Amino acid sequence: MAAYYARDYRDALTRLARFKQLCSPEELQIKVSKGRVRDRARVAPCSGRDAAFCWQTPPFVSFVELGRRGTGHSVTAKRVELRRSAEATGFHEAYFRGPIKFRSATECAHPACDRSRPTIPYLQRRVA
């Protein structure tokens, strides 16, 4: 909830990173370079066939959805890289609205200009 009280998307991602570090097995690293923001999610080691699926996609969905709902704009990913194998459904490409690279590092890149978008005040979203 604290991320939705942020003044802009940058602040929201920072708050989300702090929360995840304290309360979940995920660690969010945010790096800005060459006009792009790279979000990298690191997850505590887990095992099993579905572990990669369960732990890689949800963090990036939460980052993008936080931007979309928080700013009221269509935040899109310039590139998403997932360590797991590809699916034939096309869901990831449709949701992130950008290219997906499978069997790669776990990373999501989006334009740096999205970070400066102000968020809609929490109470204003509640009324709408």
**Which pLDDT score, from 0 to 100, does residue 46 have?**
57
- Strand extents, DSSP E, 1-128: 26-33, 36-43, 79-82, 100-102, 107-111
**Which pLDDT score, from 0 to 100, does residue 53 have?**
55
- pTM: predicted TM-score of the whole model, two decimal places: 0.72
Q: In what order do the strands lie in the sheet with 107-111?
A: 26-33, 36-43, 107-111, 79-82, 100-102
Low-confidence ranges of the chain (pLDDT < 70): 42-56, 122-123, 125-128
What gap in Å lies between CA 97 and CA 120, rounded to an integer?
22
**Which pLDDT score, from 0 to 100, does residue 63 have?**
82
Six-digit token pair at 99? 């290219």
